[in-house]
Structure 1
Amino acid sequence: MRISTVLGLIALVIQETEAMPPRIEGGRKQEQPQDEGTSYDNLELGSYDPNLDNYDLSNYEERAIKNDYGDPTPKSKVDTLIPSTMSVSTKRVMATMAPRTWTSATKPSITDLLNLLTAMGLPTCLVCVCLGTSVYCDDADLERIPPLPQETTYFYARFNHISRIQSEDFKGLRKLKRIDLTSNSISTIEDDALQLLPALQELIMPENKLIFLPKLPGSLVRLDAQFNNLRGSGILPDSFKELKKLEFLYLSDNEMDYIPVPLPSSLRSLHLQNNHIQKIQEGTFCDAEDHKYVRRVLEDIRLDGNPINLSLTPNAYFCLPRLPIGSYI
C-alpha cells in the first residue's frame, strides 16, 4: 500500500514537471528589445539569445527615446505647402492692412489722418493728447484745425502749419474756453469762426501772419495777437467796444499806426509796443468832455518802441492811474 502510494506521488511530480516551461540559465528571463510593430505575443522562446554580443547596441538610447516618446524631430517635406484656408474676404481685408509705400505726392498729412479717424468714428484723441476736456495737438504737423470732441474746453495746437481758420472748425464747441494757436502760419480767420463761441475767454495767437482780426465773441477776456502783420486797417471799427469782459489786449510787434478805439472800460493791460504809432488823441483813454471820468483798472499801457513822443499829448492821460510806458522826449 505504501509502495503504490509513493509511486503515484512520483508520477504526479513528473507530470507537473513536464508541463512547466524549460528553465533558462541565469535565473529570470530577460526582456528582448522590441522593435516597432513587434509584440511579445509573437516572440518565440526558442529565438531568444542571452548573449549580448549578438545584439546591435549602437544608438540604443536614441531608439529607446523614440519608442517611449516618438521621434523628437518632426519631419516635414520642404516641397509641400499647407493649403490656404483663407476666404476671399479675409484676403481682401489683409491686403488693405499691408504696409504701403507713400510717395511725396500721395503721403497723407496728420490732418488727413485725423479726418480719416473721425470719419471712421474714432476721435482726434487717438493722435492728439487728451486730458480730461483739454486737447493737446502741439507740434503735430497740422495744416488745419482737426475735428474736436464736443466737450473740449481747452485746445492747444502750437507749433504747427495751420494757415486758415474756417467757420466749421469750432462749430458747436459751446464749452470751449481757450484756443492757443501760437507759432503757426495763420493769415485768415473767417468772420463767424469765433463769434459763435459763447464760452471763449482766451484767444492766444502770437507768431502768426494775421493781417486782420475777425469778429470776436463778447465773452473774451484775453486776446494775444503779438508778432503778426496787423495794421490799423485790419481792425474793424468798434471791434473792442462790445467786449465788456476784455481785460488783456496784447498787440505788440505788429504794423499798427494808431491805437484802436474805443477801448472797453474793463481793460487792465494794453500792450502796443514795437508798432508804428505816431499819434495819440486826447480821447484815446479818457473822456475829453468829462474830466471827472477815471479809468481805474487800466494800469499797464506799453507804447515803447513806437515813433511817438508821449509828452506832446499830456491831456490824454489825466484819467489814468499810471502814465503809459514809452518815450517822453
Structure 2
Amino acid sequence: MFELRMSLQSLMVAPVLVLVILSPCPGIAAPPGEPDDEAFDMENYDLNNETEWENLDINIYGDSYDYEDLDQEIEVGTVAPDTPPPAIQPIAQQYEEEVTLPTLAPAPVSLDFKGPGLFGPETGLGMPICLLCVCIGGSVYCDDMGLDQIPPLPKDTTHFYGRFNKIRHVKKTDFINLNKLQSIDLTGNQISGMDEDVFRSLTQLQELSLADNNMQFLPELPITMKRIDLRNNKLISRGVHSEGFKDMSQLEFLYLSSNNLDYIPTPLPLSLRALHLQNNNIQSLHEDTFCNLHDRNFIRRNLEDIRLDGNPLNINLFAKAYVCLPRLPVGSH
C-alpha cells in the first residue's frame, strides 16, 4: 500500500516540475483556450506576486483522490497457505526418541591410605607416603623433606631415595616386607647407627649409599650387592664384618674413602672393579691383599681402579702386593 501511495504522489508532483522547466523556453505555444500570448509573457509574469500564487489553481496533492478508497479497491492476496505446516520437533528430541544410550556406572576408585592403596601407607605425619614424597613407578623420592625416620613404603617399592634429611637411626622394621627393594640411598643424613639385621630380609638389594653420615659400624649386608658407597663416614676397621665382602660375587664398586680404616677389608671378590680407600689411616699391605699367594699365575683382571692416596702408606714398599693387578694403585711413593 505504501508503494502505491508513493507512485500516485509522484504522478501529482510531475506536472509542477514540467511546468517549471518548460515554461521559460521561448517559442512554446500557448495552451489552447488562452486569449493571447501575453498571458505567458515570462518577463511580465511575476511569481513573487502573492495574488498570482493564490490564483494558481494547481492541486499538488490531488484532493479528488481518496487514498482510503484505493486501499479498499486494491487488495493484496496473502502468500501464506491457509493451513499452517506441522510443527517440526527439535533435533535433540528426535535423537532422544531414536537412540537410547546405556547408562555406565562409574568405576570404583580405591583411596585406601592405610594399606598398599593408591597413595601408599600412611606416615606418622598423618599423610600417605606418595602424597608426602614423590612416587614414580616403583621409585619413591623423599629427598630433603626434613624426615627424622624412614617413612612407611609401599610394598612394590624398588628404589628408595631419602637423601638430605635428618635421620639418625635405621631400624630393622623400616624395610620389612619390601621384597622388591633393589636400591637404597640415604646420602647426607645424620645416621650414626643401624640395627644389625636391618638389611637381612632384602634379598634383591643391589645398591646401598650411606655417604656423608656418621656411621662407625656397618651392619651385615646381602650377598646380592653390586655397589656400596660409604664415603665420608667414621668407619673403623673393627666396625666392618670380617670377610664381609667375600661372598658378594656381583660386587663391582666399593667406596670407603674418608673414613678411619686401619687396613683394607679382605678378602675382596673377584668381580670388584673399583676400590676407593683414599683419606683413611691405612699403613701397610699384605701380599695376599689383592693377589693369591698359592697361585703365582693368578691375575685380578677386573680391578683397575684402586685409590690409596691420602693414607700414611708408601706403596713402593709393597711391590709384591700388586703383581697380579692390571694397574698400580694410586698413592704416595
Please classify the TM superposition score into its range, dividing by the shorter chain length: 0.5 to 0.7
Once residues 244 and 233 of structure 1 are traced to their aligned partners in structure 2, the CA distance between those partners, rounded to angstroms, is 23
1:292-311 equivalent positions in 2, closer than 5 A: 292-311=297-316
CA shift digits 1:86-141 (9 cap, x unpaired):
xxxxxxxxxxxxxxxxxxxxxxxxxxx82253xxxx63111011111110101111
Give the match's secondary structure for 1:114: coil
Match of 2:146 in 1: 141
Match of 1:285 in 2: 290
Letter in 2 for 1:184: N
Once residues 183 and 155 of structure 1 are traced to their aligned partners in structure 2, the CA distance between those partners, rounded to angstroms, is 14
Match of 2:267 in 1: 262
Counterpart contact for 1:210–1:230, Cα < 8 Å: yes
Match status 1:180 vs 2:185: yes
1:1-329 equivalent positions in 2, closer than 5 A: 114-117=123-126, 123-328=128-333
The gaps in structure 2 that reach 5 residues or longer are 1-121
Number of residue-to-residue matches in the alignment? 212
CA shift digits 1:216-274 (9 cap, x unpaired):
00111000000000011111111101111111000000011100011111111000000
Give the match's secondary structure for 1:313: helix
Superposition TM-score, scaled by structure 2 size: 0.63
Structure 1 residue runs of 4 or more that deviate by more than 6 Å after TM superposition: none
Counterpart contact for 1:123–1:149, Cα < 8 Å: no
Give the match's secondary structure for 1:125: helix
Question: How many Å apart are 1:189 and its aligned residue?
Answer: 1.3
Give the match's secondary structure for 2:140: strand
Once residues 236 and 309 of structure 1 are traced to their aligned partners in structure 2, the CA distance between those partners, rounded to angstroms, is 26
Letter in 1 for 2:244: S
Once residues 240 and 254 of structure 2 are traced to their aligned partners in structure 1, the CA distance between those partners, rounded to angstroms, is 13
Once residues 322 and 161 of structure 2 are traced to their aligned partners in structure 1, the CA distance between those partners, rounded to angstroms, is 38
Match of 1:76 in 2: none
Determine what percentage of the aligned residue pairs are the same residue: 54
Counterpart contact for 1:157–1:182, Cα < 8 Å: yes
Superposition TM-score, scaled by structure 1 size: 0.63
Match of 2:7 in 1: none
Counterpart contact for 1:200–1:220, Cα < 8 Å: yes
